Chains A and B, each alone.
Chain A
Amino acid sequence: GAVVSQHPSRVICKSGTSVKIECRSLDFQATTMFWYRQFPKQSLMLMATSNEGSKATYEQGVEKDKFLVNHASLTLSTLTVTSAHPEDSSFYICSATTGANSGNTIYFGEGSWLTVV
């Protein structure tokens, strides 16, 4: 079946540095990808929606200059956390869908645990 691969699964970075997380659809073309964030003991919250070749749409309260989402190809989206701070430490997960129609199957990556020290 369809697989979405997320890399890295775990990353530790120093405060002030930037870190990039990749989300790849391995056997299908993902026209739309989503990025979620989960703080401890809270639910997953949508951060941004990206469509291949266009600018990402960010949810209210998400700093677009800090969380850069790029969807450069139909199989790859990246989330870059710029100038990371300890409060950015969280679980980030992506999902991908094959089309823009409602009800299309959405596949999830396995998630990335970011720790900023």
Chain B
Amino acid sequence: KQEVTQIPAALSVPEGENLVLNCSFTDSAIYNLQWFRQDPGKGLTSLLLIQSSQREQTSGRLNASLDKSSGRSTLYIAASQPGDSATYLCAVTTGNQFYFGTGTSLTVIP
């Protein structure tokens, strides 16, 4: 069964710092990997989707990479801002179902 792990569980950084969130998965036979953001009391917001044939995707200050063979993905956030404070979830699909990581709670200190 697919297992998705995210490290670290929590991260606190000063404003302006660049940071990397990590995601690993046990079954490399995935169709795509997606990064989500979840604000307290809110739903999920999709940030980036990487198809299994792709190695990275970029959107603004966000860059996500995928190394399917090693079962790893990273989410890079450049020049972090207080508004980036949220929980970040990665999820992989091996079919029609998503398998979610445990999330990384990010706090950006002004």
A binds B: yes
| Residues of A bordering B, CB below 8 Å | 6, 9-10, 32, 34, 36, 41-46, 49, 93, 95, 97, 100-104, 106, 108-111, 113
* B69 contacts partner chain A, Cβ-Cβ < 8 Å: no
Quote the shortest CB–CB distance from B15 to chain A (angstroms): 24
Closest 6 pairs (CB-CB, A-B): A110-B43, A111-B43, A44-B100, A103-B31, A43-B100, A43-B102
17 pairs from A and B in contact (CB 8 Å cutoff)? A9-B43, A10-B41, A34-B96, A34-B97, A34-B98, A36-B98, A36-B100, A41-B103, A43-B89, A49-B97, A93-B44, A102-B31, A102-B94, A102-B96, A103-B93, A106-B98, A111-B43
Output the nearest chain A residue to B46 by Cβ-Cβ distance.
A108
Interface string of B18-50 (1 = CB under 8 A from A): 000000000000011000000001111010000
Residue of B97, B101, B105 most packed against chain A (CB within 10 A): B97
Interface residues of B (CB under 8 A from A): 4, 31-32, 41-44, 46, 89, 91, 93-98, 100-103, 105
Our pick among A102, A108, A110 for the contact of B95 (Cβ within 8 Å) is A102
Tell me which residues across on chain A come within 8 A of B44, comparing CB atoms: 93, 108, 110-111
Q: A10-B41, A95-B98 are in contact. List 8 more A-B contacts (CB 8 A).
A: A9-B43, A36-B98, A43-B4, A43-B100, A43-B103, A46-B98, A106-B93, A108-B46
Selected from A43, A46, A109, A110, the residue in CB contact (under 8 A) with B101 is A43
